[in-house]
């Protein structure tokens, strides 16, 4: 548990209890590659000053799409005026931003995954951290890079200057080295009461896919039987931000190429599961193509609509076919980035 004398920094409405992206060495926090690139397999610091923040960085199903380019960061930091957000890719590039903390203790902003020079972070796993100074208002023991009464701005500028000098000397810093430096200047510094929230997510290409199709009365695991007159439920996955993205679904008549039904949604939760409904009343039996589109990525399934039973007005049992591409559905948003030389 965090000492009562320390500044509180937490997820909005959630107190974090485990750290990621760091290992423990005699009670001190040391940055390292997340185990298996997972955000939940790394132990907390024993003094409680480095905590897990699986919902402070509001990714979608553990991913942030390159097309979106930023991630919403939201949490609580009581007793301080600002926090520093730092996101590091596997090549040692860093994206940072200092966020103001409101009178209610909440900090919230969309933070771009780009360096100070405007270069996008590399695809792959991202180690993300929110740093908060202690109640003394200074970073660590108050000295960073020879500057006294060091602030978060000092930490940010000093870190980026170290990266620039290392690259100029052709001795680029690794992600672990940069994290170690920032930890040593903050939560690991002698006498420090700083706090940090840490998380890991994937930075990958945007993906929107159709996963299941079937009548609203059923719970299909793939593409289920559909009959004229039934409300068709289409469910899929996306890693796009709902605030900036609309997923549309067109039903195209396979015989005429005409769009006969349309639905759209811009609402889904952090798991990335979206749902739309299509009315099949009045459609002719036959083959229809359902196409989802998020503006950048699309997916298709082919459904055969069967006739209703003319004797009692109910649909009769019939088979349905589906064309869902060359690879089977796995429920994943996108393939995991390739692992290079045994690292993510």
Three-state DSSP at 153 gives helix
Report CA Rg, the chain: 25
Burial of 328: CB neighbours in 10 Å, binned 0-12, 13-18, 19+: exposed
pLDDT tens digits along 283-294: 999 999 999 999
**Domain that includes residue 147, residue range:** 9-204
Same domain, 65 and 31: yes
Same domain, 231 and 121: no
Q: Beta strand pairing status for 298-306 and 226-227?
A: parallel
Same domain, 67 and 170: yes
Per the domain annotation, does 246 fall within a domain? yes
Same domain, 116 and 256: no
Per the domain annotation, does 238 fall within a domain? yes
**What CA–CA distance (Å, rounded) separates 104 from 78?**
8
Counted domains in the chain: 2
Same domain, 115 and 175: yes
Residue among 88, 60, 90 nearest 72 (CA):
60
CATH of residue 288's domain is 2.60.40.1930
Sign of CA dihedral 21, 180, 338, 325: positive
CB 242 within 8 A of CB 267: yes
Per the domain annotation, does 30 fall within a domain? yes
- 197 strand-pairing partners: 51, 130
Same domain, 104 and 223: no
Same domain, 39 and 159: yes
Residue among 200, 241, 231 nearest 31 (CA):
200
pLDDT in tens, the chain (344 residues): 333 333 455 544 332 322 333 332 333 333 333 323 333 223 345 466 788 878 899 999 999 999 999 999 999 998 899 999 999 999 999 999 999 999 999 999 999 999 999 999 999 999 999 999 988 888 988 888 888 888 999 999 999 999 998 888 888 889 999 999 999 999 989 888 899 999 999 999 999 999 999 998 878 778 877 899 999 999 999 999 998 899 999 999 999 999 999 999 999 999 999 999 999 999 999 999 999 999 999 999 999 899 984 543 544 433 333 333 333 333 333 334 443 333 33
Distances (CA, A) of 185 to 24, 29, 141: 16, 11, 8
Burial of 300: CB neighbours in 10 Å, binned 0-12, 13-18, 19+: middle
């Amino acid at each position: 548990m965090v000492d009562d004398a320390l500044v509180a920094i937490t997820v909005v409405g959630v107190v974090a209890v485990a750290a990621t992206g760091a290992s423990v060495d005699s009670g001190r926090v040391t940055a390292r590659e997340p185990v298996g690139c997972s955000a939940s397999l790394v132990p907390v610091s024993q003094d409680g000053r480095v905590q897990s923040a699986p919902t402070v960085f509001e990714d979608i199903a553990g991913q942030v799409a390159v097309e979106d380019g930023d991630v919403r960061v939201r949490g609580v930091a009581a007793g301080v005026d600002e926090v520093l957000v730092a996101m590091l890719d596997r090549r040692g590039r860093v994206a940072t931003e200092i966020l103001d903390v409101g009178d209610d203790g909440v900090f919230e902003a969309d933070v771009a995954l780009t360096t100070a020079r405007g270069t996008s972070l590399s695809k792959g796993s991202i180690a993300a951290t929110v740093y908060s100074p202690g109640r003394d208002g200074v970073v660590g023991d108050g000295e960073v890079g020879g500057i006294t009464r060091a602030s978060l701005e000092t930490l940010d500028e000093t870190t980026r200057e170290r990266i620039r000098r290392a690259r100029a000397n052709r001795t680029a810093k690794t992600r672990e080295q940069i994290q170690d430096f920032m930890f040593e200047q903050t939560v690991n510094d002698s006498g420090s009461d700083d706090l940090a929230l840490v998380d890991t997510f994937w930075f990958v290409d945007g993906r929107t896919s159709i996963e299941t199709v079937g009548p609203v009365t059923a719970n299909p695991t793939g593409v289920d039987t559909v009959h004229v007159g039934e409300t068709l439920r289409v469910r899929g996955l996306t890693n796009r931000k709902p605030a900036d993205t609309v997923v549309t679904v067109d039903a195209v008549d396979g015989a005429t190429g005409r769009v006969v039904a349309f639905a759209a949604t811009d609402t889904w939760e952090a798991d990335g599961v979206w749902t739309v409904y299509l009315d099949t009343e009045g459609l002719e039996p036959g083959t229809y193509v359902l196409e989802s589109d998020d503006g950048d990525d699309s997916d298709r399934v082919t459904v055969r609509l069967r006739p209703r039973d003319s004797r009692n007005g109910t649909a009769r049992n019939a088979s349905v076919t589906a064309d869902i591409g060359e690879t089977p559905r796995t429920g994943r948003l996108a393939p995991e980035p390739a692992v290079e030389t045994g690292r993510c």
